Amino acid sequence: MLARWYDQLAGVVRQTRPVTFSRRSLPLWMIALIVFGVLTILGITIGLLVHFLVVESRIYYYSGSFKVLNITYNKNYEKETSPENNHLSKILETKMSDAFEASNIYRQYINSQVIKLVPENNNVIAHIWLMFKAPRAMKRNTKSKIENILYQMLRKNSDFITTDPKSLTLMEISKVAAEKIINTLCGRRARTSATYDKVKGGSSAQEGEWPWQASLKKNGKHYCGASLISERYLVTAAHCFKMTKNPKNYTVSFGTRVSPPYMLHYVQEIIIHENYFYGKHRNDIAIIKLTEKVSFKNDVHRVCLPEATQIFPPGDGVVVTGWGALSYNGEYPVLLQKAPLGIIATNICNAKEAYNGLVEDEMLCAGYLEGNIDACQGDSGGPLVHPNNRNIWYLAGIVSWGLECGKPNKPGVYMRVTSYRSWIASKTGI
Ligand code: ARG
């Protein structure tokens, strides 16, 4: 069957094709098709290459340093939460962002920060961290432009500070290295996401938005909030240990989902304020020491502790976060909730129709006198945070008490962290 078919086919071929093969040119349509095909492939290749190299932007990170001259030596510059450090860093950050925003690469500029100040004789070395986006083909060009802009910026001396342009160093660093730098600092976020800047009356948090927030679990069940203040320590409320203070009963987890627990840690020691008495609100603060260090990542790292002298003025915006009830006696969320609040002056909070003198100096009221937005049951021990003028987040309060949740004239009451700053230092060395 197969052989016959082959014979027939061979006959057809013999009939239609001359015995001698003369080189006949291909039909026109076929040439056109081939040319078209080749051109298409070429076009797509060039298009992709152009897109990849010129159109599509990548994010580049840089770290560098420069010298600030004539700064009277003060050890406090080294301390990341000191007013001296913050003041000088803010001036330098404003100088940098002004320079980049006025430059011809303002569209590539994303972020610039001072990450460390190192005093040296009568000078300070400022370590900087930069984030830019640029097409691959412009990578080298972008770096030299950045260097140039910084150099020009350092040449111009403002009223208060003199900077040395010759001291400028700049190098590209990997994304991993760049994020690691941010994650070891307190109160910062590795991603500067637009979705960020925005409990009862709250909304779900984004991943990595509140990386210091922890869930304190009793026998595996969420019980209280807590805030990570170093690799080994957290702060929380003392009343969270009312039932038992055996560390073996507690675990700590992170992330935005309360269950299943993410980055589960065990507790080595619970340090309750020695002048806290169950049933009373005074000194409602405790320290948790973990059995092992937490490895910092984008979505898990520490909040800044304010200095004892730092002031959080009434009216300032703060944020409370937690997995507490969505309303009094209401349901509990799976995703971390955030609620923007305002700081309320203690004398207003102590008014007759409010807490009638129950709020002490070591406490801080935050929320709204009209009610609605508030922390609630299960938020206790969690953070009330305040962003400073550089958008670095400080722990201003610890969720402690309130009459029910979100009631008019009954805002949340928090432990004032500044009042316990030296107590925290005495227990943790931080
Ligand atoms: N004590 C409560 C707890 O154990 C939280 C109190 C906060 N209440 C408030 N209305 N802000 O979780």
Domain range summary for the chain, segments of one domain joined by +: 57-183, 190-430
Q: What is the model's pTM?
A: 0.89
With a 6 A CB cut-off, is 377 part of the ligand 1 pocket?
yes
Residues identified as active-site: 239, 284, 380
User: Which region, left, alpha or beta, applies to residue 328 given φ > 0 means left and ψ of -120 to 50 means alpha?
Assistant: beta
pLDDT in tens, 387-409: 999 999 999 999 999 999 999 99
Average pLDDT over residues 236-249: 96
d(C-alpha 153, C-alpha 97), whole Å = 10
pLDDT of 1: 39
Work out the angle at residue 122's Cα, subtended by the Cα atoms of residues 118 and 125, and round it to the nearest 5 degrees: 25
pLDDT of 22: 52
pLDDT of 74: 87
- pLDDT of 9 > 90? The answer is no
CA of 22 to the centre of ligand 1 (A): 96
pLDDT of 153: 96
pLDDT of 49: 87
The position carrying tokens 């803010």 is: 90
Residue 319: name the closest of 394, 369, 378 by CA.
394
Q: How does the average pLDDT of the chain come out, rounded?
A: 92
With a 6 A CB cut-off, is 284 part of the ligand 1 pocket?
no
CA of 375 to the centre of ligand 1 (A): 6
DSSP 257: B
Q: When comparing pLDDT for 257 and 197, which is higher?
A: 257
pLDDT in tens, 91-130: 999 999 999 999 999 999 999 999 999 998 889 999 999 9
Q: What fold is seen in the domain 190-430?
A: Thrombin, subunit H (2.40.10)
pLDDT of 192: 63
Q: Give the residues across from 62 on adjacent strands.
A: 130, 172
CA of 397 to the centre of ligand 1 (A): 13
With a 6 A CB cut-off, is 405 part of the ligand 1 pocket?
yes
398 and 306 Cβ atoms separated by less than 8 Å: no
Q: Give the residues across from 254 on adjacent strands.
A: 262
pLDDT of 19: 46
| Closest atom of ligand 1 to CA, residue 378 | 12
- pLDDT of 292 > 60? The answer is yes
Output the six-digit token pair for 263.
Answer: 């980055």
DSSP 336-377: -EEEEEEEE-HHHHTSTTTTTT---TTEEEEE-TT-S-B--T
Q: Give the residues across from 69 on adjacent strands.
A: 162
d(C-alpha 114, C-alpha 129), whole Å = 6
From the number of C-beta atoms within 10 Å of its C-beta (0-12, 13-18, 19+), residue 279 rates as exposed
Of the CA atoms within 13 Å of residue 382, those in its CB half-sphere come to: 32
Round to the nearest angstrom and report the end-to-end CA distance of the chain: 92
| Closest atom of ligand 1 to CA, residue 407 | 10
Q: Is the peptide bond before 260 cis (omega within 30 degrees of 0)?
A: yes
User: Which region, left, alpha or beta, applies to residue 84 given φ > 0 means left and ψ of -120 to 50 means alpha?
Assistant: alpha
pLDDT in tens, 352-364: 999 999 999 999 9
User: Which region, left, alpha or beta, applies to residue 240 given φ > 0 means left and ψ of -120 to 50 means alpha?
Assistant: alpha
Q: Give the residues across from 286 on adjacent strands.
A: 236, 272
With a 6 A CB cut-off, is 382 part of the ligand 1 pocket?
no
* Local confidence band at 70 (pLDDT 50, 70, 90 cut-offs): confident
* Local confidence band at 7 (pLDDT 50, 70, 90 cut-offs): very low
Q: Tell me which of 61-65, 113-117, 159-163, 353-357 is least confident.
A: 159-163
Average pLDDT over residues 243-271: 97
The position carrying tokens 């009451």 is: 413
Q: Which CATH architecture has domain 57-183?
A: 2-Layer Sandwich (3.30)
95 and 120 Cβ atoms separated by less than 8 Å: no
- pLDDT of 4 > 60? The answer is no
pLDDT of 197: 45
pLDDT in tens, 330-375: 999 999 999 999 999 999 999 999 999 999 999 999 999 999 999 9
Work out the angle at residue 291's Cα, subtended by the Cα atoms of residues 288 and 293, and round it to the nearest 5 degrees: 90
pLDDT of 313: 98
356 and 421 Cβ atoms separated by less than 8 Å: no
With a 6 A CB cut-off, is 339 part of the ligand 1 pocket?
no
pLDDT of 198: 42
- pLDDT of 413 > 50? The answer is yes
Q: Where are the alpha helices (DSSP H) in 133-186?
A: 139-155, 175-184
pLDDT in tens, 33-55: 999 999 999 999 998 888 877 77
